[in-house]
Chains A and B, each alone.
Chain A
């Protein structure tokens, strides 16, 4: 999303975002066990909500998660990363 920017907490995770067939695909690698636990918490949280397919988690080797996020829940996902302190800042740009 163009008007929402964030700064990754690089001591905890590596994060790469790209477009995936109209959705957003994140590749997130936990750098610490603590960060990995936080990602797992986030996975449990979003998997137990009302809609299963809005945010999908694909676990990979080396503490990596590929996460596919529908556009309509993009902000909620970013805010959750921020809440878990995996992002340092989140900011709206170009709003009144």
Chain B
């Protein structure tokens, strides 16, 4: 192992450690770590640029723009109020529909955006029903991570995997991941229903208040709503057809975003671009360069060799190792840097003779996304909901969440293990 390799490992471990410590913003750490890889000559600037996956970045930016403009119309509030009214304000039914809305929303939109849209409505409806918002909020956290696993654009790990593995299409993600996600969702809801059975009761008077709601009042700009829905539909159709059209998902998302900006007028441009989470985008940039440094020095290849040695080069043990390791790692650390490191490692395993990588990709996706449910610090959406809830006087502590999140995560990984075994390994 040369000096360059040791230096690359040193920068990587230090950066990872500082990201986990959360004392300094993760974006600053990742960018400095990536920058050091270039400054110290481990990776050239040209190679660093080549390591940045612009498809992942473009897809994220495009979807952030579309969602921020669509949210302005009041559509998401309308859907939540309409659903609450449809189920007659019955708390158990409401838990199910809010969970389903969150899961569905997270499968096509960013998880953080989805929970930011759902949480205020949840507070509003639970107050009207005079029930605690905690069961709904915990369920929304869990469902945002579960639902986000079902599609290629639902969660950053899937976006990264989809971008890195060109043979996997948008439809491949749905057909391979959605079945197991539906099973996990149903079981999680049954568990939550059992745990919170005593809290999910209300009075007829409170339910009448929900019945009196007029969800259509939430739509504040009907013309923009029509334009947003049309573009959203067109963009999602584009995702389904991206391979047939020979287009990358980033092209589809960015074309959708700028078409919507063209239709909605320049007044939306500044605001929509301001709403893009640039901290997340630059976090990705830093990480791609950082992992690029490890790749350039052959460290990823060395790690892949270790994994193959550990599993004897057999597909089944390698698949389950990736699934469970990803799950537990993602419960404690950010799944984005973890997946950024695992992608080249798995690609190297392919070059070393592991023939069918598909089960390993699905294991990485399921582990990294579902692992986020294990701990409160496992995903950004978890922390955002907990932060909002605490501010409103309903604290979701680390332990309170872990008591539900960890069993749900372990159950999810067990179900995923069985699913992967029977679907791909027998």
A→B interface (CB under 8 Å): 21, 40, 44, 47, 50-53, 56-61, 66, 68
Q: Contacts A58-B128, A60-B214 known; A66 to B209 CB distance under 8 Å?
A: yes
Comparing B52-60, B116-124, B151-159, the segment that makes contact with chain A is B116-124
> Are B217 and A52 interface neighbours, CB within 8 A?
no
- Closest chain-B Cβ to A38's Cβ sits at a distance in Å of 14
Given contacts A47-B120, A53-B127, A68-B127, contact A60 B213 (CB under 8 A): yes
Complex contact A58–B124 (CB within 8 A):
yes
B218 touches A59 (CB 8 A): yes
Determine which of B123, B217, B220 lies in contact with A53 in the assembled complex, contact meaning CB atoms within 8 Å. Answer: B123
- Chain B residues 192-207 with CB under 8 Å of chain A are none
* B301 CB → nearest A CB, Å: 50
Binary contact track B168-212/A, C-beta < 8 Å → 1, others 0: 000000000000000000000000000000000000000001001
A61 lies within 8 A of B214 (CB)? yes
How many residue pairs, one in A and one in B, have C-beta atoms under 8 Å apart? 44
- B217 CB contacts on chain A under 8 angstroms: 59-60
- CB within 8 Å of A: which B108-153 residues: 119-120, 123-124, 127-128, 130
- Taking a contact as CB atoms under 8 Å apart, the answer to whether A52 and B392 are in contact is yes
Within 8 A of A (CB), among B71-100: 81
Q: Contact: A56 with B123, CB < 8 Å? A: yes
Cβ contacts A to B, 13 pairs, < 8 Å: A40-B220, A50-B391, A51-B391, A51-B392, A56-B124, A56-B127, A58-B128, A59-B215, A59-B217, A59-B218, A60-B213, A60-B217, A68-B128
Listed from nearest, the 5 A-B pairs whose CB atoms lie closest are A59-B217, A52-B120, A53-B392, A53-B123, A61-B214
Residues of B within 8 A of A21 (CB): 130
Give the residues from 293 to 352 in chain B that come closer than 8 angstroms, CB to CB, to chain A.
Answer: none
Bound Cα distance from A21 to B130, whole angstroms = 9
Given contacts A52-B119, A52-B392, A60-B217, 5 further A-B contacts (CB under 8 A): A47-B120, A53-B127, A58-B209, A61-B212, A68-B127
Whether B388 is near chain A, meaning CB under 8 Å from some CB there, is: yes
Closest to A48 in B: B120
Find chain B residues with CB under 8 A from A44 CB. 220
Interface of A: prevailing SS: mixed
Given A21-B130, A52-B119, answer yes or no on A59-B214 (Cβ-Cβ < 8 Å).
yes
Chain B residues near A56 (CB, 8 Å)?
Answer: 123-124, 127-128
B217 CB to closest chain A CB (Å) equals 3
Could you tell me the distance between the alpha carbons of A52 and B391 in the complex, rounded to whole angstroms? Answer: 9
A60 CA / B209 CA spacing, docked (Å): 9
Q: Which of B120, B213, B214, B393 has the most CB of A within 10 A?
A: B214
User: A60 near B212 (CB under 8 angstroms)?
Assistant: yes
Whether the Cβ atoms of A59 and B213 lie closer than 8 Å is yes
With A and B bound together, what is the CA distance between A47 and B116 in angstroms? 12
- Which single residue of chain A is at the shortest CB-CB distance from B210? A58
How long is the Cα–Cα vector from A58 to B208 in the complex, in angstroms? 12
Q: Which residues of B contact A50 (CB under 8 A)?
A: 391
Residues of chain B with a CB closer than 8 A to A57's CB? 124
Partner of A58 from the list B119, B120, B213, B391 (CB cut-off 8 Å) is B213
CA distance in complex: A21, B142 (Å): 31
Minimum C-beta distance from A6 to chain B (A): 24
> What's the minimum C-beta distance from B131 to chain A, rounded to whole angstroms?
12
Q: Report the separation of the CA atoms of residues A66 and B81 in the bound assembly, to the nearest whole angstrom.
A: 14
Minimal Cβ-Cβ distance residue in A for B127? A56
What is the minimal beta-carbon distance from B396 to any residue of chain A, in angstroms? Answer: 15
When the two chains form the complex, which single residue of A40, A52, A68 contacts B388, counting CB atoms closer than 8 Å?
A52
Chain A residues near B213 (CB, 8 Å)?
58-60
CB distance from A7 to the nearest CB of B (A): 27
Assembly CA distance A66 to B217 (angstroms): 13
CA of A53 to CA of B215, assembled, Å: 19
Bound state CA distance, A58 and B388, in angstroms? 20
Cα A61 to Cα B393 in complex, Å, equals 31
